[in-house]
């Protein structure tokens, strides 16, 4: 029997998520080098030493199932944000939380509004659930909230807002966002994805925590970025109790393993490491802006730990040239910007290596 007759409707036509190239992948073609990976917006400083120690201490217990509700971590997050634990759900990365949101709220034929381009997992989850993606093109590289509002219909179920947006690093304006929320029908749920929220410096950007008790809004956060725990896959959602209850209805029994839970608790307690990461990103942004201007390259001013750069030529060519220099970036063709690439902000030395490589490329 043909697979089309037995597979879930719609899944065979989904464009699978393609992550940035890993060091292991590029080594197969280019051999061992002192690689600099600036492709996946990871924390190049790594996790807090306290998180590493917590993992080491927990290793002897990995033959036991993890604590399903993640009570200790929920308590730590609740204390951090002065929220009741009933407004928090934890899962194995923000990606899985997005899938849970789809399972909990999206029915066949429901419309889901999102920016174009933005994080592609929103599209994938909508299609898996049989929903209809309503893409709204960015305006000056930023979410067009007014344009999104105009596309709301009786079929609209969710609106995803990635703030800062991936891949552009831009944020929406607080006043425009609040007007947008006020005009939305009560039945429409806003998913505010703040995976990069800790890096935001613009005081005019909305802060999701200010809205979760007042509106049909679910706030997504992750331990992958500022806390450097991307390899452990751990994220959390905050929202009204009724919305969070729906997510618990579709949650796996043991979604977060023991090592991730204890590492995340320890990471939250190490505020100095988080501050060091944020400071490194802020200083790296300023350095890269200055050097990109010197070279003559345009970029989108970012509020995240990456920069969306216009190389004024096919970014796949720049990507391959940088690989020969031991540097991995993320070309923009996947987002419909073939001359752009997304570049993670690294350490000062990594940023300097990237700029030296660009100087070499643009002198050719």
Phi-psi region of 168 (alpha: psi -120 to 50; beta: other; left: phi over 0): alpha
pLDDT tens series, the chain, 364 aa: 778 778 887 788 877 766 777 878 777 777 767 889 999 999 999 999 999 999 999 999 999 999 999 999 999 999 999 999 999 999 999 999 999 999 999 999 999 999 999 999 999 999 999 999 999 999 999 999 999 999 999 999 999 999 999 999 999 999 999 999 999 999 999 999 999 999 999 999 999 999 998 789 999 999 999 999 999 999 999 999 999 999 999 999 999 999 999 999 999 999 999 999 999 999 999 999 999 999 999 999 999 999 999 999 999 999 999 999 999 999 999 999 999 999 999 999 999 999 999 999 998 6
Q: How far apart are CA 91 and CA 237, in angstroms?
A: 8
Cβ contact 97:122 at 8 Å: no
Q: How far apart are CA 230 and CA 20, in angstroms?
A: 13
Cβ contact 259:326 at 8 Å: no
pLDDT per residue as tens digits for the range 171-211 = 999 999 999 999 999 999 999 999 999 999 999 999 999 99
Q: How is residue 217 annotated by DSSP?
A: E
pTM value surpassing 0.85:
yes
Backbone angles phi, psi at 155, to 5 degrees: -90, -5
Which domains, from first to last, does the chain contain? Answer: 3-45+272-363 (3.90.1150.10), 49-269 (3.40.640.10)
Q: Are strands 235-239 and 88-91 parallel, antiparallel or unpaired?
A: antiparallel
Q: Is 63 exposed, middle or buried (0-12, 13-18, 19+ CB in 10 A)?
A: exposed
First-to-last alpha carbon distance for the chain, in angstroms, is 55
């Amino acid at each position: 029997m043909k697979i089309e007759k037995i597979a879930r409707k719609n899944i065979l036509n989904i464009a699978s998520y393609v992550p940035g190239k890993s060091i292991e992948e590029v080594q197969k073609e280019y051999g061992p080098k002192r690689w600099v990976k600036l492709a996946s917006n990871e924390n190049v400083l790594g996790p807090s030493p306290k998180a590493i120690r917590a993992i080491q201490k927990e290793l002897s217990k990995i033959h036991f199932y993890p604590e399903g509700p993640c009570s200790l971590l929920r308590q730590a997050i609740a204390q951090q944000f002065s929220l009741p634990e009933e407004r928090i759900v934890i899962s194995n990365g923000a990606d899985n939380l997005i899938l849970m949101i789809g399972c909990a709220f999206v029915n066949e034929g429901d419309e889901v509004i999102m920016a174009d381009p933005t994080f592609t997992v929103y599209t994938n989850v909508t299609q898996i659930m049989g929903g209809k993606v309503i893409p709204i093109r960015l305006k000056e590289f930023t979410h067009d909230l007014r344009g999104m509002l105009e596309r709301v219909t009786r079929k609209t179920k969710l609106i995803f807002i990635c703030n800062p947006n991936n891949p552009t690093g831009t944020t929406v304006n607080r006043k425009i966002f609040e007007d947008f929320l006020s005009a939305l029908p009560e039945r429409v749920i806003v998913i505010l994805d703040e995976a990069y929220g800790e890096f935001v410096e613009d005081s005019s950007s909305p802060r999701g925590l200010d809205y979760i008790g007042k509106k049909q809004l679910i706030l997504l956060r992750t331990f992958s970025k500022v806390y450097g725990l991307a390899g452990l896959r751990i994220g959390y959602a905050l929202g009204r109790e009724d919305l969070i209850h729906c997510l618990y209805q579709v949650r796996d029994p043991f979604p977060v393993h023991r090592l991730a839970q204890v590492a995340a608790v320890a990471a939250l307690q190490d505020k100095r490491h988080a501050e060091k990461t944020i400071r490194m990103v802020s200083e790296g942004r300023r350095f890269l802006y200055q050097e990109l201007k010197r070279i003559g390259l345009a970029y989108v001013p970012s509020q995240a730990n990456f920069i969306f750069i216009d190389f004024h030529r096919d970014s796949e060519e720049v990507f391959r040239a940088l690989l020969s220099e031991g540097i991995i970036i993320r070309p923009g063709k996947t987002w419909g910007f073939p001359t752009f690439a997304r570049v993670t902000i690294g350490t000062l030395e990594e940023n300097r290596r990237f700029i030296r490589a660009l100087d070499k490329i643009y002198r050719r």
